[in-house]
Amino acid sequence: MMKTILFDLDGTLACMDQDEFIKQYFQKLGELAASRGLSEPKRLLDAVMAGTYAMMHNDGTMSNEERFWNVFPQAYGEGWQETTPLIDHFYTHEFNEIRSIVSPCAVSRRLLHDLRQKGYKIGLATSPVFPRIATEQRVAWAGLKPEDFDYISTYENSHYPKPSHEYYGEVMTALGALPEECLMIGNDAEEDMCTADWGFSVYLVTDHLLNRKNLPIEAYPQGTLADLASYLNTLPDLRHAYTRMAQYYETDSMGIVHHSNYVRWMEEARVDWMDAVGFGYDAMEKAGVSSPVLAVRCEYKSPVRFHDTVRIYVRLAEFTGIRLTVSYEIVDACTGALRLQGETRHCFTDKSGRPVSLKKVCPEAYELYTRHIL
């Protein structure tokens, strides 16, 4: 079952010309070098290109960041240490000026929001040759935020270049995903669509299509970013849904459901979800395990009234085998209007109340819960 969506950035989520970006990148860096009195700005640019080339052929024995700084001093030669403050300054100031070539896209923001609402993990599989500060700026240029993603590849956390099999392996490991659980979305016929050979589902975005080798692309699902949004709308909601109708006794003098009842509703939905997972409270107690509540959080968005029917979406947000966090979203079953967002945190204990690891005392249940983390 598909649970993880990977996106390319440049030309996919960010509306931009990649060749123009590279041109302006080196132009801005060269201008800064000249303004800072470097006698040979081209020497700096050549060293950066050498370090980038080394990252694009990295073998995994060190991170891309380490590979760059292993090669850059040799390529620049004597006095290379004087360039590091300049490069740092470039990424915190001049680099951001390139944003003028990027057009923020409302479609990108909406489709990420909708996928998150459905419980999908989202990764940004962009070429990991930039430091995190630069990658996060590029994300902002697209009108997005780093927290929109569960994982972002950068030169600090990557040991291989995109589009190697090992690169995508690192991304999947970070997201806890298998190839058959992933959908890769990008605009590059080679670097993004190669994942289809490894068992990924794919979608080729054609607004800024890159197909430098004129590869056959007819077999890939494809379309504009607007077409992609329609395609993603057909993906199922991964969250467990529990439906109930508000009862009269649950309302207060103002005719709305009293706030305390939502905690009971969350428990009802959690019990229903645990049964669906295959390890409910009855099975848990037979195994000698309890799961007490450690904390409850509720954010009330809009009221529920007598006879209203609500749908409670349940998602396992975190699971360590010792603790788990369950998130809830209560919406009106007819209109979809958000009524409440909540969360409960739990631990596992034995009958005497001592904390236990589900992985040790009930490994079958541990595996069940691990497969349902969203």
* Structure token digits, residue 129: 């040759």
The Cα–Cα gap between 254 and 256 comes to 6
Give me the pLDDT at residue 373, please.
80
Catalytic entry in 46, 88, 252, 350: 252
The Cα–Cα gap between 236 and 3 comes to 10
Give me the pLDDT at residue 106, please.
86
Give me the pLDDT at residue 19, please.
87
Give me the pLDDT at residue 29, please.
95
- Cα 307 off chain centre by: 38
Show Cβ contacts of residue 63 under 8 Å, excluding neighbours closer than 6 positions: 155, 156, 157, 158, 159
Q: Which CATH number fits domain 240-371: 3.50.50.60, 3.10.129.10, 3.40.50.720, 2.60.40.1930?
A: 3.10.129.10
Give me the pLDDT at residue 103, please.
83
The Cα–Cα gap between 336 and 332 comes to 5
Q: Which CATH number fits domain 4-16+102-233: 3.40.50.1000, 3.20.20.70, 3.20.20.140, 3.90.420.10?
A: 3.40.50.1000
- Our answer to whether residue 188 is catalytic in this structure is no
Q: What is the pLDDT of residues 167-215, one digit of tens each?
A: 999 999 999 899 999 999 999 999 999 999 999 999 999 999 999 999 9
Given a cut of 50, the residues of the chain with pLDDT beneath it are none
Give me the pLDDT at residue 258, please.
96
Q: What is the pLDDT of residues 239-294, one digit of tens each?
A: 999 999 999 999 998 999 999 999 999 999 999 999 999 999 899 889 999 999 99
Q: By the 8 A CB rule, do 67 and 108 touch? A: no
Determine whether 53 is exposed, middle or buried from the number of CB atoms within 10 Å of its CB (0-12, 13-18, 19+). Answer: middle
Calculate the alpha carbon distances from 226 to 61, 113, 282 in Å. Answer: 40, 15, 47
Give me the pLDDT at residue 372, please.
83
* Structure token digits, residue 110: 């909406």
Give me the pLDDT at residue 371, please.
82
Q: By the 8 A CB rule, do 172 and 178 touch? A: yes
Give me the pLDDT at residue 333, please.
95
Q: By the 8 A CB rule, do 365 and 284 touch? A: yes
Q: Which of 320, 330, 307, 332 is nearest to 360 (CA)?
A: 320
